[in-house]
A and B are shown apart, each in its own frame.
Chain A
């Protein structure tokens, strides 16, 4: 296997950049990943705690606004609430800018890709305006720091985060025989949503060895997992179903509801062989191609099993395998990755982009992303974004990509680079004759740049 630095950046990183030299070896990729998270330090994004403060303030002002209705202070309370709401939602655009800056400047592109991959694997989103910005805190605090650890720790961090407990309705799920349910005369009840998705999406996979009874039992075991916007995660015993539960034949918990058996069940699920297969398949599809090599999947699953889910071992196995380095570019970049790699390839000046406010970020990135089919941080369901290339390269999706590629670069880079030079800058050895001809034949520089960014060789990785 010959290491190809350009392919490493294109397939496993954020794309080629005129200002950042490609990684020199597989060992360097792993070393950077094992090392400090420089990008997060350089371009900080709010952590959970900070965003929860804003969520609390939102709730207070909303409450005040409601309580003042019909009084002389109504107008003032409403104004204060609306002003805060706008600022609360706007912070997302600034976080988005930071994320983009990480992609543009990083020397540790594999980390950015893994953060996106795992955030998608554990898809969670705010279901109301108060909670929406928390999506950034969730990734920053629960996902990103854990992508180089053990899968079970990542699983626990994701599942105990307020956003996940909110998104999949866990925080209001209570046992039929819980203390709270009895006191309140049987109001409320069990919600299976999170338990089902943990088995189907997060661990064993939809074809995994579990049945409805396991979903039900896991849902009962999960009762008590909750949060408060004041204090974050909380195991609320009063909501917990007393007695033990049996999941995949294993018994968990005793008479009293407790957190420890919940965590044990999650660790056991994380180490299950079906989880190894499921994670291996997802990684292979995401980083190589939709119809990935079964041998690669088996290789990853073996590394996962042997290390009991030590993700660094699994990544090492991925970078080890010949089919990870297949010369043919296959997967289509999802819209965000497409945009971010275009900005990186253009050599967008980070200082300049760092000065952009919420409005240009929305107009130049968030709105076009939606047109490309990726409503950022709002995938339709808990299964996250589509992996299939055909889901993105639809007439509508491709049209939006082409239009963005024609219009966006000149707003970010002045003057635009020479198109032929740009082609080899962002495609490297993959700037074939066809691309070079197109780059030289277009009528204007902006068209030429847009066409190079539209090349399948740039849109695939």
Chain B
């Protein structure tokens, strides 16, 4: 936004219309901000639907691989980007190659949650976010339990972003939630009157002033470009039925996350959907990977170099997919999968994990990649490094029943 343009919000603030409600918000008063309990940033992206890790990070060096994926790896298809002589990245992740070379991008292969056999998205995601050994053991999520262990946590310390339910952040610790397309577009008059209406009800008053403040930060991100010039546009926007953003919604999530992480937020989490590639995987997975790649790049750009150096992005999915391609150019629900790690805090340039091989006998149930590691272990070591949380707390509280083993050194 050019400095000469007087934005609607600035105008409102100057003209005093926003003054009282915003001043009342604890979030707008810098002195009330507690020092964040740690300095590093963690972004957890839940890839819902089951990402095919064998197509995202292709083990082309495994002698059995090509025969399992005749259609997906046909000679007519663009081949991937070689990583280390054994694994190659999907063609649509190409924009991340510079990060790989700078050591800011890594992967973990053949990992899973403890979930086995039923292969339901619903249960698989529940377990992924609960972080427990079995289903139904905890109702809160593991990121929230991490927060419960820290002192100095305020609502803004962690952000659940988007409309999807981020079970991973549910629980007793305070957490903020917001979706960039939740922007409150009210005419100046309506805004003032709404403030007046809610003034005497603290729950409503604080939610309103925070919603207005968050909408303002979105406006600064440019998500309402063109809408902040005149009150006529405002009035029209105000009368539109609220609906979830379409199109480049994923970029807005990442940009919003970055804008918060530049400030006092230390944890941000959101979901990316569209990984359930039962058919035409070439098209579907490529688009999903492109969205993931866009998000990682938007986070990097959005937080800026100094925060990026202290940032770890962890993308995880409820399960991997069958090693064999199915009859409709796709893959079905499997077991062992892949995690994506990015950020300046990550010791990248490496595909982590113990490779189980793709021979018939090495497979899980003779159909899926055998998990040789636990996604929770990866998350636990990263949180250990970023937040300094003790190993026994991670093994007993955050991920009850987990044994972390040796530090694989995911962080710099």
A residues touching B (Cβ–Cβ < 8 Å)? 69-70, 127, 192-193, 196-197, 332, 363-364, 367-368, 370-371, 375, 380-381, 383, 389-390, 393-400, 402-404, 406-408, 410-411, 434-435, 437-438, 441-444, 446-447, 450-451, 454-456, 459
Contact = CB atoms under 8 A, between A and B. Distances in A.
Given A69-B328, A197-B136, A389-B203, 7 more contacts: A332-B203, A395-B176, A396-B211, A403-B184, A407-B242, A442-B193, A443-B187
Nearest to B166: A380
Contacts, number: 136
B160 to A, nearest CB: 9
Interface in B175-229: 176-179, 182-187, 189-190, 193-194, 196-198, 200-201, 203-204, 207-208, 210-211, 214-215
A400 B243 CA distance: 9
Interface in B367-403: none
Contacts of A400: 182, 242
Contact of A441 (B135, B185, B193, B243): B193
B182 A396 contact: yes
Given A127-B120, A370-B244, A451 B211 contact: no
Contacts of A389: 203
A408 B214 CA distance: 23
A444 B184 CA distance: 18
Contacts of A395: 176-178, 182, 207-208, 210-211, 214
Q: Which of B182, B186, B190, B244: most chain A Cβ within 10 A?
A: B190
B217 to A, nearest CB: 11
Interface of B: 120, 122, 126, 135-136, 139, 163, 165, 167, 170, 176-179, 182-187, 189-190, 193-194, 196-198, 200-201, 203-204, 207-208, 210-211, 214-215, 235, 238-244, 327-328
A127 B124 CA distance: 12
Nearest to A365: B241
A435 B196 CA distance: 9
Contact of B194 (A383, A390, A407, A454): A454
Given A127-B120, A363-B241, A394 B177 contact: yes
29 contacts: A69-B327, A69-B328, A127-B120, A332-B203, A368-B241, A370-B163, A390-B203, A393-B203, A393-B204, A393-B207, A394-B207, A395-B177, A395-B210, A396-B178, A397-B207, A399-B182, A399-B183, A399-B242, A400-B182, A402-B194, A406-B190, A434-B196, A438-B197, A442-B190, A442-B193, A447-B189, A447-B238, A451-B194, A456-B198
B103 to A, nearest CB: 36
Contacts of A437: 196
A406 B208 contact: no
A408 B238 CA distance: 11
Contact of B135 (A193, A363, A380): A193
Closest 4 CB pairs of A and B: A395-B211, A403-B242, A456-B201, A395-B210
A403 B181 CA distance: 11
A451 B182 CA distance: 18
A381 B129 CA distance: 12
Contacts of B200: 434, 456
B264 to A, nearest CB: 16
A428 B242 CA distance: 28
Contacts of A402: 184, 186, 194, 208, 211
B198 A371 contact: no
A122 B223 CA distance: 41
Nearest to B203: A393
Residue with the greatest number of chain B CB neighbours at <10 A, chosen from A367, A393, A395, A396: A395
A448 to B, nearest CB: 9
A440 B122 CA distance: 49
A406 B238 contact: yes
B190 A399 contact: no
A410 B236 CA distance: 13
A138 to B, nearest CB: 17
Contacts of B196: 434, 437-438
Given A380-B167, A446-B239, A434 B197 contact: yes
A371 B163 contact: yes
A450 B190 contact: yes
A459 B204 contact: yes
Contacts of B139: 381, 383
Nearest to B183: A399
A13 to B, nearest CB: 22
Interface centre among A193, A371, A375, A437 (most CB of B within 10 A): A371
Nearest to A437: B196
B241 A456 contact: no
A411 B178 contact: no
Nearest to B231: A443
B178 A438 contact: no
Contacts of B239: 406-407, 410, 446
Nearest to A452: B197
Most B CB within 10 A of own CB, among A370, A402, A447: A402
Contacts of B190: 406, 442-443, 447, 450-451
A435 to B, nearest CB: 7
Max chain A C-beta neighbours (<10 A), residue from B139, B189, B200, B241: B241
Contacts of B193: 438, 441-442, 447, 451
Contact of A364 (B182, B198, B241): B241
A368 B207 contact: no
Contacts of B241: 363-364, 367-368, 403-404, 407-408, 411
Contacts of B176: 395
Contacts of A371: 163, 179, 182, 242-244
B243 A363 contact: yes
Contact of B184 (A399, A438, A442, A443): A399
Contacts of B136: 192-193, 196-197
A174 to B, nearest CB: 15
B327 A70 contact: yes
Given A394-B177, A398-B207, A403-B185, A380 B194 contact: no
Contacts of B189: 441-443, 447
A323 to B, nearest CB: 21
A402 B197 CA distance: 12
Contacts of A390: 203
A399 B213 CA distance: 11
Contacts of B179: 371, 396
B100 to A, nearest CB: 35
Given A364-B241, A399-B215, A406-B239, A447 B187 contact: yes
